[in-house]
C-alpha cells in the first residue's frame, strides 16, 4: 500500500515514523511504572520552558519550581499576544507548525507546536482511530467539516483532503436538497468511516430517519463514525447508530493540544495520558478527587516550541473514580465554563441544561431538526429552531414547565422559526449562547 498520508507528513517535515516508535514505547510502560514516567515528563517540560521561554518565565515569576500545584494555571487570555513573544528560544514561526483555535470559547488565539510534538500528536490520533480498524493511509473518510471559503484556503484544504483520503461535505448549508446530494455520494463512493462535527452528522441522521433509510444499506463499506467538537447526547447517539448502521464514537479534542479523550471499544471515554497530563481543578486551582466536577486543565508533555502547562481549556468535566494515571477515564464532560446561564435568583446553571431540557420536548415529534438557546437578558431567552412546522402552544407550555421545574420559574422565552441556524466561521453550532 502506498502510504500517501505518512508521506505527506514526512514531506512537511513531521518525523512521523520516529513519533510512532516513541508512542509505542510509551504504550508499553506498565501501570506500576507510569507515575514515575509521568512525573519525569512533567518536570522535563516545565524545566525546559523555565530555561528557554521568556513568556513562561515571566508567567511563573521564577526560574525553578518545587511543587507542581504551585505552577500558575495558564488561561486563553494569557495567550492573546503575538506568537513570536510566546515561542521558545531557537524556535521561529518558519520552523514550527502554526494554527489558530476556533474561538468557540470566545478567546481565539494563534498557537504553535514544534514538528516533533505535532508528529506525536498524529501518532496518538492514528493509534486511537486504529482501535476501529481505520488506517489513514488506506481508509476513505466522509468528512462533515467546515472549510475556508477564500480561494487559497479552500484549495489548500481540498489538497489536504486528497492527501488524507477523505471527501469533505461543507456544512454551512445542510438543507434537504443538499443532503439529497450527500446521500448520492454515499451511494457511489466506498467510504470506510464518517468523521465530523456532531450537529451536522446528527442533522444527516435525522434526514435519514425521516426517509426510513439505513446508511449501510446504500454504503455497505462503512465501519464507524467519529463525532467531535460539539456535545453528543445519548438519544442522538442512539438515533445515529440506528440510521447510520455503524458504531458512533465520541471524540474530545483541542487543535492546540491533541485528542484529549476518545471512546474506546469498551465504551469508556479514555483520556490521552501518553502525550497529555489532564487535571480536574476546583475554582481555587486545587486538584479535586476522581468523581468530582471541576475545570479541565491540561499539560502538553511534548511541545517545546510553546508552553501549554496547566492550561485551562475552558471546559468543565469529571474523571471517573476508576481512573488511574495510565488510564484516566472521562466520566462526564459538562460543557464550557463560559457557557453559563445567570438567572434572576442568582443561580448559575450550565447553559447546556437549558438546551438539554428543551431538547427532550422539542424533538419528540420529529419536526424540529435542530435548535439553539440564546440568553438575551437575565430572565429572557430566545430559542431559534429549524422545523417543518411551527412549535405548538402545547410544546411551548411543556418546555416552559420543564425549565421551571429543573431550573427556576418566571423566565421568559421567545421562539423563532428559522430556515437555517447561524454557525461559526468553521461551521460549528453553538447550542447555548449567552449575550449577557
User: Per-residue pLDDT tens for 313-334?
Assistant: 988 899 999 999 999 999 988 7
pLDDT value at position 430? 79
Name the percent of the chain lying above pLDDT 70: 92
- Considering the entire predicted model, what is its pTM? 0.80
Contacts of 300 (CB under 8 A, 6+ apart): 45, 117, 257, 258, 275, 276, 308, 309, 311
Burial class (CB in 10 A: 0-12, 13-18, 19+), 216: middle
pLDDT value at position 145? 85
pLDDT value at position 241? 97
Place of cell 464507524: 224
Q: Which three cell numbers stand for residue 83?
A: 506568537
The model's confidence at residue 260, banded by pLDDT at 50, 70 and 90, is very high
Cα atoms in the 13 Å half-sphere on the side-chain side of 119: 23
Place of cell 435525522: 206
pLDDT higher than threshold 80 for residue 102: no
**Burial 125-136, CB ≥16 within 10 A → b, else e:** bbbbbeebebeb
Q: Which three cell numbers stand for residue 261?
A: 479523550
- Helix (H) or strand (E) segment spanning residue 186: helix 176-188
270-314 confidence digits (pLDDT tens): 999 999 999 999 999 999 999 999 999 999 999 999 999 999 998
Q: When comparing pLDDT for 52 and 176, which is higher?
A: 52
Q: What angle do CA 172, 223, 159 make, to 5 degrees?
A: 45
Q: Which three cell numbers stand for residue 290?
A: 476522581
Question: Three-class SS of residue 370?
Answer: strand
Question: Which parts of 286-329 are beta strand (E)?
Answer: 293-300, 311-319
Mean of per-residue pLDDT scores for the chain: 88
How many residues would you count in the chain? 436
The model's confidence at residue 2, banded by pLDDT at 50, 70 and 90, is very low
Place of cell 456544512: 171
pLDDT value at position 335? 67
pLDDT value at position 120? 95
pLDDT higher than threshold 60 for residue 1: no
349-384 confidence digits (pLDDT tens): 767 677 777 877 776 666 788 888 889 999 999 999
Place of cell 484516566: 328
Beta bridge partners of 386: 370, 418
pLDDT higher than threshold 60 for residue 210: yes
- For the ranges 44-53, 94-103, 392-401, which has the lowest average pLDDT? 94-103
> Are the CB atoms for 109 and 133 separated by under 8 Å?
no
Q: When comparing pLDDT for 141 and 162, which is higher?
A: 141
pLDDT value at position 309? 97
> Are the CB atoms for 279 and 298 separated by under 8 Å?
yes
pLDDT higher than threshold 70 for residue 338: no
Distance CA 209, CA 242 (A): 9
Amino acid at each position: 500500500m502506498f502510504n500517501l498520508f505518512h508521506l505527506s507528513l514526512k514531506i512537511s517535515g513531521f518525523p512521523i515514523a520516529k513519533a510512532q516508535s516513541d508512542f509505542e514505547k510509551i504504550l508499553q510502560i506498565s501501570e506500576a511504572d507510569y507515575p514515575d514516567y509521568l512525573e519525569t515528563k512533567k518536570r522535563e517540560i516545565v524545566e525546559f520552558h523555565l530555561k528557554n521561554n521568556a513568556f513562561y518565565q515571566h508567567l511563573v515569576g521564577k526560574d525553578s519550581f518545587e511543587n507542581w500545584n504551585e505552577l500558575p494555571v495558564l488561561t486563553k487570555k494569557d495567550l492573546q499576544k503575538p506568537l513570536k513573544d510566546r515561542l521558545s528560544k531557537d524556535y521561529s514561526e518558519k520552523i514550527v507548525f502554526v494554527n489558530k483555535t476556533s474561538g468557540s470559547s470566545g478567546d481565539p488565539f494563534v498557537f504553535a507546536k514544534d514538528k516533533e510534538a505535532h508528529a506525536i500528536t498524529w501518532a496518538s490520533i492514528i493509534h486511537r482511530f486504529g482501535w476501529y480498524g481505520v488506517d489513514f493511509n488506506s481508509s476513505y473518510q466522509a468528512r462533515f467539516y467546515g472549510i475556508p471559503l477564500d480561494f487559497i484556503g479552500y484549495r489548500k484544504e481540498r489538497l489536504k483532503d486528497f492527501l488524507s483520503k477523505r471527501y469533505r461535505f461543507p456544512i454551512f448549508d445542510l438543507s434537504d436538497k443538499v443532503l439529497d446530494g450527500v446521500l448520492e455520494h454515499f451511494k457511489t463512493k466506498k467510504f470506510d468511516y464518517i468523521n465530523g462535527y456532531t450537529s451536522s452528522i446528527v442533522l444527516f441522521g435525522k434526514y435519514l430517519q425521516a426517509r426510513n433509510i439505513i446508511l449501510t444499506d446504500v454504503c455497505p463499506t462503512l465501519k464507524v463514525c467519529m463525532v467531535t467538537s460539539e456535545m453528543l447526547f445519548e438519544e442522538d447517539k442512539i438515533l445515529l447508530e440506528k440510521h447510520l448502521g455503524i458504531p458512533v464514537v465520541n471524540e474530545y479534542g483541542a487543535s492546540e493540544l491533541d485528542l484529549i479523550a476518545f471512546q474506546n471499544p469498551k465504551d469508556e471515554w479514555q483520556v490521552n495520558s501518553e502525550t497529555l497530563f489532564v487535571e480536574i481543578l476546583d475554582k481555587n486551582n486545587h486538584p479535586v478527587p476522581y468523581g468530582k466536577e471541576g475545570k479541565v486543565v491540561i499539560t502538553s508533555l511534548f511541545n517545546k516550541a510553546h508552553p501549554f502547562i496547566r492550561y485551562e481549556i475552558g471546559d468543565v468535566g469529571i474523571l471517573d473514580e476508576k481512573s488511574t494515571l495510565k488510564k484516566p477515564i472521562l466520566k462526564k464532560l459538562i460543557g464550557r465554563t463560559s457557557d453559563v446561564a445567570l438567572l434572576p435568583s442568582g443561580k448559575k446553571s450550565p447553559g447546556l441544561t437549558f438546551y438539554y431540557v428543551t431538547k427532550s420536548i422539542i424533538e419528540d415529534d420529529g419536526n424540529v431538526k435542530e435548535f439553539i438557546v440564546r440568553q438575551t437578558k437575565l430572565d429572557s431567552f430566545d430559542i431559534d429552531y429549524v422545523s417543518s412546522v411551527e412549535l405548538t402552544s402545547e410544546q411551548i407550555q411543556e418546555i416552559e414547565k420543564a425549565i421551571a421545574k429543573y431550573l427556576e420559574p418566571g423566565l421568559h422565552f421567545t421562539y423563532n422559526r428559522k430556515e437555517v441556524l447561524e454557525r461559526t466561521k468553521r461551521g460549528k453550532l453553538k447550542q447555548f449562547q449567552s449575550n449577557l
